[in-house]
Structures are given as C-alpha cells and as structure tokens.
Amino acid sequence: MLSAKRYVFVVIFIIFISGVGGFFSFTLMGESTPRSSINVQLLWQQDELKCQTPFQVGDDNKTWYMEQFQFFISDIEYGSEKAGWQKVNLTQTAFQAHDTVLLGTNCLSAKQQTGSMKNSNWTIELEPLSGASINENSAIRFTLGVPFEVNHLNPISQKSPLNLPSMFWVWQTGHKFMRLELATNNEQWLFHLGSTGCKSASVMRVPEQACRYPNRFNFELPIANNSIGRLALNVNLAEMLNNVELTSLSSCQSEQNKLSCQQLFNNLSPVKKINNTPAVSSVFRAINIKPENTGEDVE
C-alpha cells in the first residue's frame, strides 16, 4: 500500500498533469489558431464617412447625409505568386453565411437601437488560413453580390444575414447586393443594386437559369503596403458617385437603360486589364495597416 506521503504526491502529480493537459488543449484550440479579420472602412475621398457626416456632391455642392449603406460580398480569395489563389472561409456569424458577408450600416435603425450598433458591421471575420498568413499574400479578390445558388432562395428559411427583408426584393430577382440611400433636408436619393432580367413563372418563383443582367462585379485588388499589419478594405463613396447628379429622378433600381444606373455601373466596374496587369478599381482599395504601438515593446 502507498504511504500517506506517496499518496499525496501521486494526487498532486495527477492534478498537475491534468491542469497542464487542459492548458495545452486550450492553447491548441484557441490562442494558437486565432481567427483573422479584415477591417472595412467607408471613405468620402480621403476622409472617413459615418452616419452623421455631411458631404457635398455635384456642381451645386448640395449637402447630403447617409441613411443606409449596406452591401454583400462573396467568394473571397487571397493570392500570391508563390501559392496562387486560396479560398478564404468565413466564420459563421450573424453577418456571414454561405461564403457571403453583409457589410455597412443602417443609420436609421442604428438610431432606434438607442446606441446599439446591431445594424452595423465593418469587419470580415475569417477562419485561419492553412499554411499561409495574410501578410504572405499580395492580392485579394471577391465578388460584390450574392452567388446565384443562394440569391433566389426563400429568405425566411435562410441564415442571417440572407434573411433580412430590407436587403431582398422578391424570389425572382433575389437580394439587393447593395443598398445605398442618401438624404438632404428636403430630398432623397437611392441606389439599389441587384440582378435584373430574371425569368420565372412569377415574381414569387425562383429562376432556373441565371438572370440576363446578373449585375455582380468581380474585383481583384493588389494589397498596397504589403508588410506586416492588418488588412483593410477601403470603400470610396465619392468614386462610386462620380459624375452622378443626385436628384430624386436619378435614383437607380438597377434599370439597364437608365443613364444614372449606367454611370453607377461604370463607376463600379474595374478598369479592364491591359497586358495581363491586374484590373484597377477606383471604388475599392486593399491596404495593409501597421498596428498601433500599444506600448508593450517600450522599455
């Protein structure tokens, strides 16, 4: 039989091993595989644009405010010369499902939340990359829009954020890929981007074939300042509204023959590739931002 001292020693040893094992288990499952993220920032020219930020548009410099700006992007991939293109898996959250993420804010709903920003999301949450890190990649590509396979499904049975009524038209046309609504003191303007020319038995039926005008935009962006830091995606609203005169008559619901819609589509479209160089987008820009010094390395 074990002596009392040996018995106590064995018990302490077992507790120690269990604690160490639990520590390593926690580390392997948690801290050693942290989720990555991409910050998204809305700009007006060079300045950050928020709900209450006034900005001037047009020759008359009329002052406008943002009421809502939300958009879906999907099929995100990182690219490098060494590894090629690698699909990025999204963490499943209230703003992310089916490789699709909803970004932006609904300013009016945010006000009604008495300070809560449940209707705002400016971060893309990513699962860890296998065998690579964000800093090893030199480009990112994605689609502005919802994939056809899930675009026309019943939103009532879809996971969030694909179940939001404010971001859905009808089964036939599917989701609003982008919803931009602006206002002055006495006027409103809107741009709702989505697929059109969709054929089905009725507006409440799902089309079997892709819509004539999918109105999805594919972006392939070089990552500027590619060094150790946190990846950010800038969205420049001034570039999106370039050469668009904002009036109630120029509001756009993705009509193909409307001049204001054609200008907005043109602004969103990346410049076509020349001599196999990446297309350039004036609206979206990817950049690595060095993290702020929090003082840990100060002696």
pLDDT tens digits, one per residue of 236-251: 999 999 999 999 899 9
Mapped onto helix, strand or coil, the DSSP state of residue 144 is: strand
Indicate the range of 88-97, 113-122, 147-156, 220-229 predicted with least confidence. 113-122
Q: Check whether residue 55 and residue 96 sit in a common domain.
A: yes
Are the CB atoms for 269 and 217 separated by under 8 Å? yes
Mapped onto helix, strand or coil, the DSSP state of residue 255 is: coil
pLDDT tens digits, one per residue of 160-196: 999 999 999 999 999 999 999 999 988 999 999 999 9
Positive or negative, the CA dihedral 34, 220, 179, 168 is negative
Residue 167 included in any domain: yes
Two tokens, residue 137: 């990649």
Indicate the range of 12-26, 137-151, 192-206, 256-270 predicted with least confidence. 12-26
Q: Which residue type occupies 207?
A: P
pLDDT tier for residue 61 given thresholds of 50, 70 and 90 = confident
Are the CB atoms for 207 and 200 separated by under 8 Å? yes
| Predicted model pTM | 0.82
Q: Check whether residue 157 and residue 212 sit in a common domain.
A: yes
Burial 189-198 (b: 16+ CB within 10 A, else e): bbbbbbbbeb
The pLDDT of 258-287, averaged and rounded, is: 86
C-alpha 150/C-alpha 174 separation (Å) is 9
The pLDDT of 139-154, averaged and rounded, is: 96
| Residue closest to 216 by CA, chosen among 150, 160, 276, 139 | 150
**Per-residue model confidence (pLDDT) at position 14:** 45
Residue 297 included in any domain: no
Q: Check whether residue 121 and residue 211 sit in a common domain.
A: yes
Q: Check whether residue 160 and residue 18 sit in a common domain.
A: no
Q: Quick one: residue 6, left, alpha or beta (phi over 0 = left, psi -120 to 50 = alpha)?
A: alpha
Of 14 and 86, the one with more pLDDT: 86
pLDDT tier for residue 230 given thresholds of 50, 70 and 90 = confident
Mapped onto helix, strand or coil, the DSSP state of residue 207 is: coil
Given a cut of 70, is residue 294 above it in pLDDT? no
| Residue closest to 195 by CA, chosen among 249, 251, 148 | 148
Of 133 and 46, the one with more pLDDT: 46
Mapped onto helix, strand or coil, the DSSP state of residue 37 is: strand
Q: Quick one: residue 58, left, alpha or beta (phi over 0 = left, psi -120 to 50 = alpha)?
A: left
Q: Check whether residue 21 and residue 109 sit in a common domain.
A: no
pLDDT tens digits, one per residue of 88-126: 999 999 999 989 999 999 998 855 554 444 679 999 999
What is the residue range of 107's domain?
34-289
φ, ψ (nearest 5 deg) of residue 141: -135, 150
Q: Check whether residue 108 and residue 28 sit in a common domain.
A: no
Average pLDDT, the chain: 83
Residue 43 included in any domain: yes
pLDDT tier for residue 66 given thresholds of 50, 70 and 90 = very high
C-alpha 106/C-alpha 109 separation (Å) is 6
β-pair partners for 79: 85, 139
Q: Structurally, how many domains does the chain consist of?
A: 2
**Per-residue model confidence (pLDDT) at position 3:** 54
Stated as kind and residue range, the H or E segment containing 242 is none
Residue 157 included in any domain: yes
Beta pairing, strands 36-44 & 230-236: parallel
Q: Which residue type occupies 96?
A: Q
Are the CB atoms for 181 and 67 separated by under 8 Å? yes
Q: Check whether residue 12 and residue 78 sit in a common domain.
A: no
**Per-residue model confidence (pLDDT) at position 33:** 40
Of 55 and 118, the one with more pLDDT: 55
Q: Check whether residue 199 and residue 59 sit in a common domain.
A: yes
Beta pairing, strands 120-121 & 100-106: antiparallel
